Amino acid sequence: MKQNILAISGKPGLFLMLARGGNTIIVETLDQQKKRFNVGARDRITSLNDVSIYTDDGDDIKLMKVFESMKEHEQGKAVAMDVKKATKEQLAEYVGQVLPNFDRDRVYPNDMRKLISWYNILVENGLTDFVDPEEEAEAAE
């Protein structure tokens, strides 16, 4: 399921991929409107499963693992912070709580805002299975 959750450059929020065909993808917004539309090849589309966060030790960490850490920190609830009004320091402090070794030089405030916003969108839509148990077992080996 998580590979079907997309971010589209220039469009706010997250989208669920419904179908793929030719040079277009049919997506649905992850909000109350559930608006469906086509996305063409000219749009930059990113699967959340492919996104990573920079860390100080050089190993990037997958976004889904960060979301899992946020889920544990927030006990499965949405983050109460208002990301639009939060300062750079407040954002860095929160991200530091869920990912202590994130690279403060390469992870910008807008990235932190997206991280928190995307997490809240997923929680509101009940999409909270961020890390598969099988993947976690493979990573532990």
Per-residue pLDDT of the chain (141 residues), as tens digits, is 567 899 999 899 999 999 988 889 999 999 888 999 999 878 899 999 999 999 998 889 999 999 999 999 999 999 999 999 999 999 999 999 999 999 999 999 999 999 999 999 999 999 888 887 665 555 555
Q: Where are the domains of the chain?
A: 2-48, 52-140
| Domains 2-48 and 52-140 in one fold | no
- Which CATH number is 52-140's, of 1.10.10.350, 1.10.10.1800, 1.10.10.1650, 3.40.50.2300? 1.10.10.1650
In the prediction, which pLDDT does 2 show?
Answer: 63
In the prediction, which pLDDT does 136 show?
Answer: 55
Return the CATH number of the domain spanning residue range 2-48.
2.30.30.730
In the prediction, which pLDDT does 1 show?
Answer: 53
Alpha carbon 87 to its chain centroid, in Å, reads 20
Stated pTM of the model: 0.88
